[in-house]
A = this chain, B = another copy of it.
């Protein structure tokens, strides 16, 4: 540090302030110190490391939709893990607007967070990727995949495992027409669920699937269910790909006076409060959102400590409950 101070012609305290990202440092001072640092031949990464280490002790969390219970629980898990390590977390909600994802990432980087946790609304939005690549701030993806250059740090869910188990049980119960009402196709969970149901169904020549991707909203859940049930070959089992979609699916089923599981079997993804009091209970592909948030925070801290990139996959487990029963195919449909 003394050598850098001498080379830059500034006080030791100024070098310290620059390297610790102190807010009261002028741009010219920062440039002088950084030039001197670079002249000593440090790797850019190592410099980044120096700049980062405990710099501001804050982490930014960019979330697509905080009113989604799953996302709120992930944020809670991350907050608890970060807080235990002396970090504070700044949460920014993109209200499912990809443009806000990018703006929030830029703002958090400008405000010198040490790292980012990202559960963005749209993986394919170029400005989001550009903001990350321009920023050089470490980040961890939460069940997202970005077409970025750096090796990925991520926590992902094993949606394939969960969907495959659900489909196998439904097929075992005699269901031959299974539908998935999926969320946004621009995020990993939907893509993985769609790929999984198509692969699982392909193993059975007499089983087919219909997929309706769209958005993680009640509106999409209801509209897609209506379309499916009014189609020529309505499904005998529906998988709701998210807790907000579930509300719409259930409303549409209730509106048609269909009985679950007699007329239609139902599987949902992710637990939500009150679901335990529904009758029949809902077969659910479960994952632990608090554990996901915690794992994401721990990965970010590992990255800040200089460890190599890693992706952790956590389970998504199918739990059978009362909303699935043998297919009503043999019986005359009551809903047409």
Contacts and interface: CB of A to CB of B under 8 A. Distances in A.
Contact of A75 (B66, B111, B246, B274): B66
A76 B91 contact: no
A254 B277 contact: yes
A43 interface: no
Nearest to A24: B27
Given A272-B273, A278-B278, A103 B88 contact: yes
Interface stretch (A92-100, A117-125, A191-199, A296-304): A92-100
A30 B26 CA distance: 11
A129 interface: no
Interface in A81-106: 83, 88-93, 95, 100, 103-104
A69, A103, A247, most chain B CB atoms within 10 A: A69
Contacts of A16: none
25 contacts: A23-B23, A24-B26, A24-B30, A26-B29, A58-B107, A66-B66, A66-B79, A66-B91, A67-B75, A69-B273, A75-B93, A76-B95, A88-B103, A88-B104, A89-B92, A89-B93, A90-B91, A91-B93, A243-B273, A247-B276, A250-B274, A250-B277, A254-B277, A274-B274, A277-B278
Task: Return the 7 tightest CB-CB contacts between A and B, nearest first.
Answer: A91-B91, A274-B274, A24-B27, A67-B76, A67-B72, A90-B90, A79-B93
Interface of A: 23-27, 29-30, 58, 66-67, 69, 72-73, 75-76, 79-80, 83, 88-93, 95, 100, 103-104, 107, 110-111, 243-244, 246-247, 250-251, 254, 272-279
Given A69-B72, A79-B93, A279-B279, 11 more contacts: A23-B23, A24-B27, A24-B30, A66-B66, A66-B72, A67-B69, A79-B95, A243-B273, A247-B276, A254-B277, A274-B278
